[in-house]
């Protein structure tokens, strides 16, 4: 199965605010801000709006659309609940993003009668528990299942029975084949190839000459051949958060406060995972889009916001002293994640106090929302970002997480 939620960010907003239902809604930011559409409701799509479109263009095409900043933590939570539902149906779950996953249900379907009955049960649970709509494609191969779920939207369910894969794909326009982007589409059309069937029937050598090994992949996929298995993800190797500012800045208090806030987000996830980190990475993108990352390696692992932030800030100050350009984006990450080491000598007792403090704050935030408790260093953000109980709403929610 390939399961994908319909208009995900928008639908989550509509659950919170039913007045947004059945209306053209865009998540991504205000139309006068820079940025692009992250998600558009199906009503908005009838005006030509789509993900990736500049907000200004979207508001020109559909002035009556309702524009929402969005809140990544909210989508993250909805995503976790969505994945938890899917995991009840099979352990062979491969999330492909927040709102999308492959599920290998081979052998589990008999419990439900058939795979399509199982899919209906999944759709029902997503509807009942999350008030969201999941579209599901069922097929023997990943690529076919993905095309089927996409084609079935919105609120769809489409099963392609084994043996019918090629015939199912053949009449569809080539742009529907995963991996065919705008550029490939143009080149294929230049060769007179307009639908997937024509692509499937194109001699392999032609595609190999034009696209190299990618041509071979295209040919296989167009023929419904896909050897990829469904593989549950390995443990994450790093955790990071970043955000773009509404306006490029050199304001140190804003940069510091943002770095501190992003650090707290990173730190809480690190502690939730029960890992320690030895690598701390700062990312800065300047106004001209040049991007740097600077890494510091600790002697021993940490779970402390204070340690991550202090090193991040040192890296930031050093970067800013070497480069005078305005800053567009700042981010912080931890890597080299390890299992917690042995605690601890007397010397470490002050570290221990900070770790207890972090855990106490995590606990409060888990119960009452991220904004329930705020550190002094992030207070200046109150004048810069709007906030709700989930934390600050940064300007680029899809990047900010
Ligand atoms: P998608 O599943 O691609 O889109 P969607 O769920 O909004 O709509 P559909 O019904 O067609 O599945 O992406 C899931 C979410 O990821 C989407 O709601 C917002 C986010 N996203 C971005 O932030 N930027 C992007 O460019 C895209 C494509 C998605
Ligand atoms: Mg989706």
Per-residue pLDDT of 254-298, as tens digits, reads 999 999 999 999 999 999 999 999 999 999 999 998 999 999 999
Calpha distance 352→349 (Å, rounded)? 5
Pocket test for ligand 1, best of 3, 99, 137, 147 (most atoms within 8 A of CB): 99
Nearest Cα neighbor of 206 from 224, 188, 221 is: 188
Q: What is the pLDDT of residue 117?
A: 97
Q: How would you classify the pairing of strands 93-95 and 100-103?
A: antiparallel
**Closest ligand (CA of 397):** 1
Residue 151 alpha carbon to ligand 2 centre in Å: 12
Strand order across the 39-40 sheet = 39-40, 25-27, 66-68
Residue 100 alpha carbon to ligand 2 centre in Å: 6
317-321's contacts with Cβ under 8 Å and 24+ in sequence apart are: 318/294, 319/282, 319/284, 319/292, 319/294, 320/250, 320/252, 320/255
Q: 280: cis peptide before it, omega within 30°? A: no
Calpha distance 376→253 (Å, rounded)? 12
* Catalytic annotation present for 19: no
**Closest ligand (CA of 38):** 1
Task: Give, as residue ranges, everything with CB less than 5 Å from ion ligand 2.
Answer: 4-5, 8, 99
Ligand 1: residue whose CA is nearest its atom 21: 38
Residue 8 alpha carbon to ligand 1 centre in Å: 6
List 13, 94, 100, 165, catalytic entry: 100
Q: What is the pLDDT of residue 237?
A: 87
Q: List phi, psi (to 5°) of 376.
A: -55, -35
Q: What is the pLDDT of residue 398?
A: 40
> For 188-214, how does the pLDDT look when each residue is reduced to its tens digit (9 = 90+)?
999 999 999 999 999 999 999 999 989
User: What lines the ligand 1 site, CB under 6 Å?
Assistant: 4-9, 38-39, 51-52, 98-100, 153, 398
Phi-psi sector, 179: left (phi>0), alpha (psi -120 to 50), beta: left
What global pTM score does this model have?
Answer: 0.68
Calpha distance 214→202 (Å, rounded)? 14
Calpha distance 307→322 (Å, rounded)? 23
Residue 9 alpha carbon to ligand 1 centre in Å: 7
Q: What is the pLDDT of residue 367?
A: 87
Q: What is the pLDDT of residue 153?
A: 97
**Closest ligand (CA of 12):** 1
Calpha distance 102→86 (Å, rounded)? 9
* DSSP bridge pairs for 279: 297, 335
Ligand 1: residue whose CA is nearest its atom 7: 7
* Chain CA centroid to CA 54, Å: 19
Residue 98 alpha carbon to ligand 1 centre in Å: 9
Q: Which residues of the chain have pLDDT under 50?
A: 397-401
């Amino acid at each position: 199965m390939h399961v994908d939620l319909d208009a995900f960010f928008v639908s989550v907003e509509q659950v919170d605010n039913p007045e947004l239902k059945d209306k053209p809604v865009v998540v991504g930011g205000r139309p006068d801000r820079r940025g692009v559409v992250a998600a558009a409701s199906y009503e908005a799509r009838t005006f030509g709006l789509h993900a990736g479109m500049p907000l200004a263009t979207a508001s020109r095409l559909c002035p009556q659309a309702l524009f929402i900043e969005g809140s990544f933590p909210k989508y993250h939570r909805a995503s976790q609940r969505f994945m938890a539902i899917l995991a009840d149906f099979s352990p062979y779950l491969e999330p492909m993003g927040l709102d999308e996953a492959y599920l290998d249900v081979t052998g589990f379907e008999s419990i439900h009668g058939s795979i399509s009955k199982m899919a209906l049960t999944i759709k029902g649970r997503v509807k009942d528990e999350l008030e969201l709509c999941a579209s599901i494609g069922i097929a023997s191969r990943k690529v076919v299942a993905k095309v089927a779920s996409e084609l079935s939207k919105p609120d769809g369910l489409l099963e392609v029975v084994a043996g019918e894969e090629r015939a199912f794909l053949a009449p569809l326009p080539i742009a529907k084949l995963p991996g065919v982007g705008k550029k490939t589409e143009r080149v294929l059309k230049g060769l007179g190839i307009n639908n997937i069937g024509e692509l499937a029937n194109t001699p392999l050598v032609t595609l190999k000459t034009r696209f190299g090994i990618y041509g071979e992949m295209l040919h296989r996929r167009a023929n419904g051949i896909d050897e990829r298995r469904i593989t549950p993800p390995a443990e994450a190797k790093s955790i990071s958060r970043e955000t773009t500012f509404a306006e490029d800045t050199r304001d140190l208090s804003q940069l510091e406060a943002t770095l501190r806030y992003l650090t707290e987000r990173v730190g809480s996830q690190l502690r939730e995972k029960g890992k320690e980190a030895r690598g701390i990475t700062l990312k800065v993108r300047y106004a001209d889009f040049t991007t740097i990352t600077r890494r510091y390696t600790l002697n021993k692992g940490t779970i402390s916001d204070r340690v991550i932030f202090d090193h991040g800030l040192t890296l930031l100050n050093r970067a800013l002293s070497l480069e005078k350009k305005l800053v567009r984006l700042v981010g912080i990450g931890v890597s080299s994640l390890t299992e917690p080491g042995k605690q601890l000598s007397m010397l470490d007792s002050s570290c221990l106090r900070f770790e207890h403090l972090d855990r106490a704050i995590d606990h409060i935030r888990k119960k009452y929302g991220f904004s329930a408790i705020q550190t002094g260093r992030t207070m200046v953000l109150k004048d810069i970002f709007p906030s709700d109980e989930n934390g600050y709403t940064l300007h680029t929610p899809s990047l900010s997480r």
